[in-house]
């Protein structure tokens, strides 16, 4: 029928052509929306037309080319942005999707709440033009496209990169293999999350006298990615991989990340190995770093490794199981040595989105930290430190991971809060933070107070200068153990290759590269957080009006943040939803509302009153008066 309308047809024209009444407009509009979302037709300027070429236009690309591109319905054109239809004061309007400010773009006529549309922003006297809808907020594909569009994330690799990777042989040349130490018989294992998409590190530990010998093997990506090649230039531009709950945007093409560089079980792989002799006190006695050929003997997830370390369920053969038990013992010694030199013990509790078979969120859980998590972390930390020390001792410029301590003003504010919580008295000094964190163990407000300490610290970043790493208590630290997903690690690997071959380091501006990679890291972390927020909004969109139990995590001028227990998500009680009279002390993190006093860490019951899909934000309201919590009782005893 639409073929008879060369310029497309309006809804009224289609009703007339079908002989339908205006009462059937809603039914027809819904049918057309489905065809639009499926890419069969497109709605432009209020008119529907088939997605084929307009009269006089060139035909569409071949099916091969089309298969490599995003469906038209989901792909914003140049100059367009995505918007979501939201309700405000009983009117529908389109807001930027996603956007923290929830910027309004236009009135939404002919759409339903939750529709996602392509928007050509208003210019001068011309109003915004809406096209779509392309789908619904919360749909995995729509949300992925929205995040990629909002953060300008690359969804595919240039043809030159794919051609370079396709031309790579499955193995290394014999001459390259011969110059490496053969460790293929060593029972190295990879230990990663169940959802891991790349495997670039493996470990093995064996007892040596009263101490241990540790082997940390890291995929040698530099042997597959020449500097200055198309893949290298694209990896540098991206800076790092981006991880979402249901997919990832890799720094490197899939054949490298999932095959040629991945430490797959029973497959020969090139690696850099850090071999250490460690005392029973956690001190590194001897160290060596060299290129090797390895073969992973098992791929374990954290739960399997933790069960094996606890002796509940053996993993792999005897050598693998023995290595895991020794790894657990070694990690305890390394951890104790780190704390003794002033490292901060932080465990903020990460949230993990649990997805259903349809890719939509089913729950948000607090990630469980097992002994296997801590063991692998300790092995990677000491390997990074050893490589940093090696590069510095050789006088080689490289990218370091640096972290400055907190400013005096931030420490003063933190001291006020800790004093109110009953965990510290007097002036707070930098070197006292490790002891403060130990005293927080078991405190009702442990999580929120740890988060406040983290906010008082500066952000870690990349730099060529040896400033040190405050949180780790390390004089020299870098990133070496994740070259598949971080370009900074690849830079370090290339520096090791040059050092081994006795080559001079190239002249380049490491300061500029450090700034670029630090910016990319922050940018992609923001994209990951925003996608997480969209998944949370999708999960709770149909639970408005429900009551939840949660913990007060922050008090600020705009209201109060509350972390729900189940699901493990955070929302805000706006200040205008708190009863008068209202008194707030942001420095001590206390809030008095209608005679009730709330403190950081208190348990409250809240009601979900709104899910803002544009801002991906949860609005809460207090459901009842909280009882005196254990945190308040503890403060009374401290005074």
Q: Is residue 39 part of a domain?
A: yes
Q: Is residue 424 part of a domain?
A: no
Same domain for 101 and 187, yes or no, is: no
Collapsing DSSP to helix, strand or coil, 67 comes out as helix
Whole-number Å distance between alpha carbons of 274 and 19: 77
Same domain for 206 and 265, yes or no, is: yes
Final residue before a domain boundary, out of 484, 509, 532: 532
Query: Is 378:330 a contact under the CB 8 Å cutoff?
Result: yes
Percent above pLDDT 90 for the chain: 62
**H or E segment to which residue 584 belongs:** strand 582-585
Same domain for 244 and 113, yes or no, is: no
Same domain for 100 and 179, yes or no, is: no
Q: How confident is the model at residue 190 (pLDDT cuts 50, 70, 90)?
A: very high
- For the segment 53-68, the average pLDDT, to the nearest whole number, is 35
Distance of alpha carbon 473 from the chain centroid = 25
- For the segment 625-631, the average pLDDT, to the nearest whole number, is 44
pLDDT at 31: 59
Q: How confident is the model at residue 629 (pLDDT cuts 50, 70, 90)?
A: very low
Strands (E) located in 297-379: 298-301, 351-355, 361-366
Final residue before a domain boundary, out of 513, 532, 551: 532
Same domain for 217 and 326, yes or no, is: yes
- The pair of structure tokens assigned to 115 is 């529709």
Whole-number Å distance between alpha carbons of 9 and 49: 7
Whole-number Å distance between alpha carbons of 52 and 66: 13
Q: Is residue 448 part of a domain?
A: no
Same domain for 378 and 492, yes or no, is: yes
Query: Is 440:452 a contact under the CB 8 Å cutoff?
Result: no
Give tens-digit pLDDT for 101-150: 778 888 878 888 899 999 887 777 777 788 878 899 999 999 999 999 99
Q: Is residue 308 part of a domain?
A: yes
DSSP one-letter code for 431:
G
- The pair of structure tokens assigned to 518 is 């630090």
Whole-number Å distance between alpha carbons of 212 and 325: 11
Q: Is residue 422 part of a domain?
A: no
Q: Is residue 251 part of a domain?
A: yes
**Whether this model's pTM surpasses 0.75:** yes
Q: Is residue 435 part of a domain?
A: no
Final residue before a domain boundary, out of 102, 132, 151: 151
Whole-number Å distance between alpha carbons of 510 and 397: 8
Considering its fold, how many domains does the chain have in total?
A: 3
Asked whether the predicted pLDDT for residue 56 surpasses 80, the reply is: no
Asked whether the predicted pLDDT for residue 597 surpasses 80, the reply is: yes
Query: Is 201:271 a contact under the CB 8 Å cutoff?
Result: no
Same domain for 376 and 514, yes or no, is: yes
Collapsing DSSP to helix, strand or coil, 621 comes out as strand
Same domain for 107 and 240, yes or no, is: no
Residue 125 or 474, more confident: 474
Same domain for 103 and 205, yes or no, is: no
Asked whether the predicted pLDDT for residue 66 surpasses 50, the reply is: no
Q: Domain of 609: which CATH number? A: 2.40.50.140
Domain that holds residue 607: 537-638
Q: Is residue 305 part of a domain?
A: yes
Same domain for 526 and 630, yes or no, is: no
Same domain for 374 and 469, yes or no, is: yes
Q: What is the 3-state secondary structure (H, E, C) of 87-123?
A: EECCEEEEEECCCCCCCEEEECCCCCCCEEEEEECCE
Residue where the block lists tokens 């259903």: 356
Same domain for 41 and 166, yes or no, is: no
């Amino acid at each position: 029928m639409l073929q008879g309308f060369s310029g497309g047809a309006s809804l009224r024209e289609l009703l007339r052509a079908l002989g339908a009444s205006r009462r059937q407009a809603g039914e027809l509009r819904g049918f057309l929306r489905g065809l639009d979302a499926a890419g069969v037709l497109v709605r432009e300027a209020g008119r529907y037309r088939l997605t084929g070429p307009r009269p006089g236009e060139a035909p569409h690309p071949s099916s091969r080319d089309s298969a490599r591109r995003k469906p038209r319905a989901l792909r914003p054109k140049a100059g367009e942005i995505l918007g979501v239809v939201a309700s405000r004061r009983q009117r529908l309007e389109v807001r930027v999707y996603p956007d923290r400010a929830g910027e309004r773009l236009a009135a939404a006529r002919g759409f339903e709440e939750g529709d996602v549309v392509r928007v050509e922003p208003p210019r001068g006297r011309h109003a915004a033009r809406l096209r779509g809808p392309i789908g619904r907020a919360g749909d995995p594909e729509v949300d992925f496209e929205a995040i990629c569009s909002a953060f300008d994330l690359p969804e595919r690799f240039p043809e030159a990169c794919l051609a370079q990777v396709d031309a790579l042989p499955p193995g290394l040349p014999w001459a390259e293999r011969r110059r490496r130490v053969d460790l293929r018989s060593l029972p190295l294992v990879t230990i990663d999350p169940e959802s891991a998409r790349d495997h670039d590190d493996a470990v093995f530990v064996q007892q040596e006298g009263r101490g241990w010998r540790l082997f940390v093997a890291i995929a040698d990506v530099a042997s597959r990615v020449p500097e200055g090649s198309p893949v290298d230039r694209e990896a540098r531009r991206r800076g790092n991989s981006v991880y979402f709950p249901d997919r990832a945007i890799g720094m490197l093409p899939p054949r490298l990340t999932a095959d040629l560089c991945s430490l797959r079980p029973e497959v020969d792989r090139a690696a850099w190995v850090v071999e250490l002799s460690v005392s029973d006190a956690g001190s590194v006695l001897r160290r060596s770093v060299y290129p090797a050929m390895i073969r992973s003997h098992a791929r374990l997830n954290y739960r399997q490794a933790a069960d094996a370390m606890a002796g509940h369920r053996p993993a792999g053969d005897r050598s693998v199981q023995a290595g895991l038990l020794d790894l657990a013992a070694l990690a305890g010694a390394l951890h104790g040595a780190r704390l003794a030199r002033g490292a901060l013990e932080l465990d903020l509790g990460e949230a993990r989105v649990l997805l259903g078979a349809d890719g939509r969120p089913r729950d948000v859980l607090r990630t469980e930290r097992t002994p296997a998590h801590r063991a692998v972390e300790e092995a990677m930390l000491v390997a990074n430190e050893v490589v940093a020390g090696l590069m510095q001792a050789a006088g080689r410029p490289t990218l370091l991971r640096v972290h400055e301590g907190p400013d005096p003003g931030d420490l003063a504010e933190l001291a006020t809060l800790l004093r109110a919580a009953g965990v510290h008295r007097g002036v707070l000094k930098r070197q006292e933070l490790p002891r403060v964190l130990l005293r927080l163990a078991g405190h009702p407000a442990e999580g929120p107070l740890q988060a406040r300490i983290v906010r008082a610290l500066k952000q870690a970043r990349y730099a060529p200068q040896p400033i040190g790493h405050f949180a780790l208590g390390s004089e020299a630290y870098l990133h070496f153990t994740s070259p598949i997903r971080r370009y900074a690690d690849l830079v370090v690997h290339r520096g090791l290759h040059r050092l081994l071959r006795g080559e001079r380091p190239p002249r380049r501006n490491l300061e500029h590269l450090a700034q670029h990679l630090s910016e990319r890291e922050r940018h992609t972390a923001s994209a990951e957080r925003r996608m997480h927020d969209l998944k949370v909004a999708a999960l709770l969109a149909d639970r408005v009006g429900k009551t939840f139990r949660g913990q007060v995590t922050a008090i600020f001028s705009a209201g109060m943040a509350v972390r729900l227990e189940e699901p493990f998500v955070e929302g805000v009680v706006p200040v205008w939803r708190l009863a008068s009279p209202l008194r707030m002390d942001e420095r001590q993190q206390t809030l008095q509302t209608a005679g009730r006093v709330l403190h950081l860490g208190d348990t409250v019951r809240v009601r979900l009153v709104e899910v803002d899909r544009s801002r991906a934000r949860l609005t809460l309201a207090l459901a009842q008066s909280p009882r005196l919590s254990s945190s308040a009782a503890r403060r009374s005893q401290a005074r």
